[in-house]
Structure formats: C-alpha cells, structure tokens
C-alpha cells in the first residue's frame, strides 16, 4: 500500500491545480479531482441497499456480498464510484459491462491516489484480470492492497520506488497469476526462489528489483555473510588482542599501563632496532635511542643475558621502585620491558654530556660547579629520606648534565640499605674531582681507594696547590672552595667518626651554593674589598 504521506502529498498539488486551472485542459488531474469530489459529494441513494441485495442475488460471488459481518453500504458506494472512474481511466472499452484491466502505466499523477483507496481494493471487481502500475515512481512499501484481487493473471509494478520486503506469503492465493514484473524497484533482499510460488517466473520479472532471484547468487552471498562475519569477529579479536598485548600505546590513555613496555613498542620506537638508533653496544648490553608514539624521546637499555625466573621477578620489582623515583636531578625511569631474549629499562632521553667531559672541556666556574654539587646533594638527600634502598653511582662520567646545567644522576639501582658511609665517601671523591686538578686523579687510573689514600697523605697546603686554577679562583671563592674541599676530605674518611652526615653535608653545600649566588656570575675576579651587598637580591628564592 502506498503510504499515507505520499497520498497527502498528492492531494496537495491536485487541489492547488484545481484552483489555478479551474476549467482545466489538464485531463488526468481534473479527473482525479473529480474522483475526490464525487467521493465527498455523492451519497448512496435510499434504495442502494436494495440494489446491492439484488446484485448479490444475481451474482453471489461478488466480493462485497461475502464481506462480513454486515455489509457496509457507504464503503460499497464509494467503491463503486472509484471503480467507475478507474475503469474509464484504464481505457477499458465498455465500463458498463466489463472491467478487465487496471492500467495506470505512466500515470504518476494519479497512480498513488488510486492505490490509496483501500475500500476499492477490498471489493476488487472480479472482472479485473490485469493490473499495471508500472513507471510511476511510486514510493513506499509493497502495495499489499493490490493482492486483494486474487483472480488477476498479470501484475506489473515495475519501474517504481517500492521498498521493504516483498510479501512472499501473500502471493500464494494468486493462483492464476502468469505474468509478474517487479523489476526496477528497491525491495530489500530476499530469496524468492525459495518459494514455490515464484518458481514459475524467471529472473526477468525481478531485474534490479533488489530481490534476489538467483539461488546461486543468494547462496554465495549467504556464505560470504556466514563465513565473513565470524572471520571479521575473529580478526577484530586478534586485532584487539594485538593492541592490548603488543601495542598498548595505541589504547586510550586511561587503559595504558604506562610502566610496562612491550617488545613491539620498543621495536616501533627504534624503527626496528635500526643501526641509526643504536647508540651504545657491548656483548650483553645494547643501548638504543627511541621515540615513543607520544613523541617522548627515550633511552632503551637492553640486557641480552639470560636470567633465571627469580632474577626476572627481582628485576621487575626493582623496576617498579625505580619508576617511582621523582627528582629533578635523577634521570626519570619510564618503565621496563621483558622480551623473549632480553629485558630492558626505558629511561627518558638525556644529552650525553657528563660532568667529566664538562670539567675537562669547558672548565666551568666555581658558581657552576657548586650548583652541580648542590643538585647532587639534594638528590642524595631525597633518596636517603624516601628510598634508602636505592644505590647510585657518583662518578663524574656517569652524572649527566641537563640543558640547564643541572646534574642528573643516571646510574642507580635497588641495592643495600646500609651503605650510607660508602655513599658519603663516594660523594667525597666526587667533591675532590669537582675541585682538584684532574691530572692528579688520572695517575691512579680510576682506582678510588689508592686515590683516596694518596689524598689523605697530603697536607692542606699541598691540596690547595692542586685546586683547579681554571676556575679563576678569587679571594671570595677561595674561602668557599676550601670549605667544600675540607668537607670532601671529611667524607672520604670512611673509617673515622669524622665522616659527616648527609644533613651536615647538605647544610655546608647549601651555604656555599647560596654564597655563590650572590657572587657576580661568570669568571670575573672581584677586587679585594669589593662589597657583595649590591648583588644580594638577585637569586634568593
Ligand atoms: C433499505 O433501507 C431502508 C431504510 O434506510 C429500509 O426501510 C429498507 O427496509 C431496507 N431494505 C432492505 C431490503 O433491507
Ligand atoms: C470516460 O472517459 C471518457 C474519455 O476517455 C470521457 O469522455 C467520459 O466522460 C468518461 N466517463 C465517465 C463516466 O467518467
Ligand atoms: C516512463 O515514463 C516517462 C514519463 O513519465 C517516459 O518518458 C518513459 O518513456 C516511460 N518509460 C517506459 C519504459 O514506459
Ligand atoms: C483462476 O481461473 C479459474 C478459471 O478461469 C477460476 O475458476 C478460478 O476461480 C481462478 N482463481 C482465482 C483465485 O480467482
Ligand atoms: C522469462 O519468461 C518469459 C515468459 O514469461 C520469456 O518470454 C523470457 O524469454 C524468459 N526469460 C528468460 C531469461 O528465461
Ligand atoms: C519487466 O520490466 C522491465 C522494464 O520495463 C523489462 O525490462 C522486463 O523485460 C520486464 N519483464 C518481463 C518479464 O516482462
């Protein structure tokens, strides 16, 4: 049945046209308007009940005779009006005696209107054997009302815009139907060849109708759907699994476990472990530079040696602790990774300049050196208070420098809680290296113990001779340098009770640091007697 909306749509233009072209030459529209007018104005004559009864006596097979429970005279009268118009409209030769065809081919203006008269179709005249509504661009679902005319032999609904399902079951009473054309419509896909009824028609009745007539094609589509869908689901599951387990960095941030990296992430970050990204290599350690998906530059230290399951658990536990560390003078550990043949620690990427190179090549001023010492002590204090189990390396070649010339402790690990004395001793050596001439230490070929014993044999005066003169030492700085130097000496004295506590170290170094801040920057010598006051405001914060 054509939808109500399309019917209303048709009424509107018709009424407008009647007003503008009242004595119109536009034949079909006028006729159409006549139907509606007749339906409105004409009423059954008083003896219509008698006429109907007589008709039924003469021809009991008439549809309206069998309609139950009571005959609706008004509907039957409207039906007869529509029937007479439609018969004439369909160019039947003699509408008084016979009404063999409903032919509204190529009549888009009126076709929908006639389709909408349900009361007509309900009493569809038995004389009608052929119905043609083709080429009318009618929209809507299949016009089920037409199927009230069960006696028809021919039905043509081709070249319209019918959509939805073809009511396959409703066709079965149309036993005399020999011609059917549903071509060029937009029906939804359904397999007609399944139904016994449609077997007598061939595919030319369903060209471009949307319905599938060809059994094979339907089967193929069904198979594609039946096989394709599970395959699709499986692929989705595999894909999601891959994302979750291999590339969690593709997940929304809230689902990411940021500390655990997968081998696939590392592979992507290093462009497949490319040689350009390999920045350091030994037998068991490979160090790569990488870029994560969010743009973070990272250093990836890969350990290729085999370790036992227990050691691996220990490794993970340690990594979890290292990831917790948060200090501006500590290289940030971002996470770890376990691959089949390696484990790796991922840290933020830092410039490779270390304090040793810096001292050697740039001969920094005392101000800069004491700032580095301050940073290191600050970090040591943080670790002692929050993470006493974390051990670190204070060698000048392992402490890096940030862009802002802040020291960055880059080698650390979870170790022994009770080695504060050694940590402080190491700091002492670091202090000496920061202050004294490099040449002295080089003679000991990296052996700290020998270096320490040698230093301890020296007198203060001798030591002062060894202060790195490239600092451009002045009267004022010299005092501070000497103070810090003696602090260093106290620190390396591991045996005696003279070794200061970290708090004491912190106090001394901060004092030196604060004093250095009020000094004019750079390597300017201050003339003796210059007052420092004028600079005082600068950097105390
Ligand atoms: C037809 O209807 C009229 C009243 O509308 C009634 O008087 C008459 O008996 C009816 N005739 C038949 C045959 O039912
Ligand atoms: C039937 O149609 C013809 C033109 O085809 C017209 O002249 C005639 O008036 C129509 N009759 C009725 C009853 O509508
Ligand atoms: C369908 O109708 C249009 C005019 O509405 C006409 O031009 C066209 O030839 C018709 N097509 C067929 C197949 O009858
Ligand atoms: C089909 O045609 C035969 C013979 O003309 C007729 O007897 C029969 O009632 C028709 N079937 C329907 C469903 O109208
Ligand atoms: C389909 O059937 C019609 C008769 O109903 C026939 O003329 C036509 O050749 C058939 N077409 C095919 C493709 O079999
Ligand atoms: C149905 O209509 C289309 C379009 O007019 C036509 O191509 C096709 O041959 C027709 N099919 C039959 C069985 O007449």
Supply the residue whose CA is at minimum distance from atom 7 of ligand 3.
106
Q: Look at residue 410 and tell me if it is in a domain.
A: yes
Domain's final residue, options 86, 104, 125: 125
Supply the residue whose CA is at minimum distance from atom 12 of ligand 3.
135
Does 235 lie in the same domain as 109? Answer: no
Residues with CB under 6 A from ligand 2: 84, 88
Does 274 lie in the same domain as 414? Answer: no
Q: How many angstroms separate the CA atoms of 414 and 425, rounded?
A: 19
Centre of ligand 2 from the C-alpha of residue 88, in Å: 6
Q: What pLDDT score was predicted for residue 156? A: 97
Nearest alpha carbon to residue 91 among 79, 80, 105, 77: 105
Are 335 and 259 in contact, with CB atoms under 8 Å apart?
yes
Are 472 and 519 in contact, with CB atoms under 8 Å apart?
no
Centre of ligand 5 from the C-alpha of residue 204, in Å: 6
Centre of ligand 6 from the C-alpha of residue 89, in Å: 23
Q: Look at residue 93 and tell me if it is in a domain.
A: yes
Q: What pLDDT score was predicted for residue 503? A: 87
Which token pair is 5?
């909306």
Q: What pLDDT score was predicted for residue 511? A: 87
Place of tokens 């040449």: 439
Q: Look at residue 181 and tell me if it is in a domain.
A: no
Does 494 lie in the same domain as 404? Answer: yes
Q: How many angstroms separate the CA atoms of 208 and 187, rounded?
A: 9
Does 322 lie in the same domain as 435? Answer: no
Does 443 lie in the same domain as 426? Answer: yes
Q: Look at residue 320 and tell me if it is in a domain.
A: yes
Does 526 lie in the same domain as 426? Answer: yes
Q: In 3-state terms, what secondary structure has residue 185?
A: coil
Nearest alpha carbon to residue 402 among 365, 352, 334, 327: 352
Domain's final residue, options 285, 318, 348: 348
Question: Which ligand 3 atom is at minimum distance from the Cα of 108?
Answer: 5
Count of domains forming the chain: 4
Question: Which ligand 3 atom is at minimum distance from the Cα of 134?
Answer: 14
Are 509 and 370 in contact, with CB atoms under 8 Å apart?
yes
Domain's final residue, options 322, 348, 374: 348
**How many Å is the Cα radius of gyration of the chain?**
49
Nearest alpha carbon to residue 420 among 384, 373, 394, 393: 384
Which of the ligands is closest to the CA of residue 105?
3
Does 431 lie in the same domain as 329? Answer: no
Q: Look at residue 517 and tell me if it is in a domain.
A: yes
Say if strands 186-187 and 285-291 run parallel, antiparallel, or are unpaired: unpaired
Residue 284: give its domain's CATH number: 3.30.200.20
Does 342 lie in the same domain as 361? Answer: no
Pick from 43, 49, 74 the residue to mutate for probing ligand 1's pocket: most ligand atoms within 8 Å of its CB. Answer: 49
Which of the ligands is closest to the CA of residue 207?
6
Centre of ligand 4 from the C-alpha of residue 150, in Å: 9
Determine the distance from the C-alpha atom of residue 504 to the mean position of all C-alpha atoms in its chain, rounded to a whole number.
Answer: 54
Does 509 lie in the same domain as 405? Answer: yes
Residues with CB under 6 A from ligand 5: 202, 204
Range of the domain at 71: 1-125
Q: Look at residue 72 and tell me if it is in a domain.
A: yes
Question: Which ligand 4 atom is at minimum distance from the Cα of 150?
Answer: 13
Q: What pLDDT score was predicted for residue 338? A: 83
Q: How many angstroms separate the CA atoms of 111 and 89, rounded?
A: 10
- Indicate if ligand 4 lies below 6 Å from the C-beta of 447: no
User: Which residues, including other chains, have CB under 8 Å from residue 199's CB and lie 6 or more apart?
Assistant: 193
Does 281 lie in the same domain as 304? Answer: yes
- Indicate if ligand 4 lies below 6 Å from the C-beta of 61: no
Q: Look at residue 161 and tell me if it is in a domain.
A: no
Q: How many angstroms separate the CA atoms of 144 and 173, rounded?
A: 13
DSSP 295: S
Residue 386: give its domain's CATH number: 1.10.510.10
Are 211 and 182 in contact, with CB atoms under 8 Å apart?
yes
Does 421 lie in the same domain as 334? Answer: no
Give 10-residue mean pLDDT values along the chain (541 residues).
30 25 40 82 88 86 78 88 92 87 93 93 92 95 94 96 92 94 91 81 88 70 86 92 81 72 86 88 88 87 84 85 87 85 87 83 85 90 87 86 86 77 85 79 71 77 78 80 84 77 88 78 41 32 26
Q: How many angstroms separate the CA atoms of 318 and 338, rounded?
A: 13
Does 459 lie in the same domain as 321? Answer: no
Whether pTM > 0.85 for this model: the answer is no
Q: Where would I find the H helices in 171-214? A: none
Q: Look at residue 71 and tell me if it is in a domain.
A: yes
Question: Which ligand 2 atom is at minimum distance from the Cα of 88?
Answer: 1
């Amino acid at each position: 049945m054509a939808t109500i909306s399309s019917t209303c749509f048709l009424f509107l233009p018709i009424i407008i046209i009647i007003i503008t072209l009242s004595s119109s030459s536009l034949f079909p529209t006028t006729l159409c308007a006549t139907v509606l007018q007749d339906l409105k104005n004409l009423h059954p004559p008083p003896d219509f009940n008698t006429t109907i009864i007589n008709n039924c006596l003469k021809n009991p097979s008439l549809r309206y005779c069998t309609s139950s429970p009571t005959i609706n005279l008004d509907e039957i009268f409207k039906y007869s009006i529509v029937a007479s118009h439609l018969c004439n409209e369909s160019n039947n030769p003699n509408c008084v005696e016979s009404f063999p065809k409903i032919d509204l081919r190529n009549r888009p203006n009126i076709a929908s209107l006639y389709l909408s008269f349900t009361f007509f179709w309900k009493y569809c005249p038995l004389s009608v054997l052929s119905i043609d509504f083709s080429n009318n661009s009618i929209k809507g679902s299949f016009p089920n009302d037409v199927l009230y005319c069960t006696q028809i032999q021919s039905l043509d609904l081709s070249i319209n815009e019918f959509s939805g399902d073809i009511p396959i079951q409703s066709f079965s009473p149309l036993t005399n139907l020999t011609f059917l054309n549903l071509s060029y419509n937009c029906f939804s896909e359904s397999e007609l060849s399944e139904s016994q009824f449609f077997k007598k028609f061939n595919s030319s009745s369903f060209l471009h109708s949307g319905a599938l007539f060809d059994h094979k094609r339907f089967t193929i589509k069904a198979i594609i759907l039946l096989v394709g869908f599970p395959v699709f689901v499986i692929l989705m599951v595999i894909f999601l699994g891959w994302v979750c387990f291999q590339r969690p960095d593709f997940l929304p941030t809230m689902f990411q476990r940021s500390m655990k990296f997968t081998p696939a992430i590392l592979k992507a970050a290093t462009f497949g472990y490319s040689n350009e990204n390999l920045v350091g290599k030994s037998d068991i350690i490979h160090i790569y530079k990488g870029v994560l998906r969010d743009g973070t530059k990272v250093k990836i230290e890969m350990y290729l040696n085999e370790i036992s399951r227990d050691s691996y658990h220990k490794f993970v536990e340690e990594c979890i602790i290292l990831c917790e560390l948060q200090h501006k003078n500590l290289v940030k550990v971002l996470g770890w990774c376990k691959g089949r043949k390696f484990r790796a620690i991922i840290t933020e990427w830092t410039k490779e300049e270390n304090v040793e190179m810096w001292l050697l090549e740039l001969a920094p001023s005392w101000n800069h050196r004491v700032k580095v010492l301050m940073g290191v002590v600050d970090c040591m204090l943080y670790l002692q208070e929050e993470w006493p189990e974390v051990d670190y390396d204070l060698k000048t070649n392992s402490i890096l420098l940030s862009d802002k010339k802040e020291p960055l402790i880059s080698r650390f690990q979870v170790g022994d809680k009770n080695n504060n004395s050694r940590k402080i001793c190491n700091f002492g050596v670091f202090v000496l290296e920061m202050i004294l001439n490099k040449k002295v230490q080089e003679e000991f070929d990296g052996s700290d113990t020998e270096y320490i014993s040698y230093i301890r044999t020296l007198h203060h005066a001798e030591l002062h001779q060894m202060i790195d003169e490239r600092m451009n030492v002045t009267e004022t700085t010299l005092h501070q340098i000497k103070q810090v130097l003696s602090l260093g000496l106290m620190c390396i004295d591991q045996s005696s009770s003279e070794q200061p506590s970290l708090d004491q170290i912190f106090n001394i170094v901060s004092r030196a640091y604060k004093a250095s801040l009020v000094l004019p920057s750079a390597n300017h010598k201050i003339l003796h007697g210059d007052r420092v006051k004028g600079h005082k405001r600068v950097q105390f914060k």
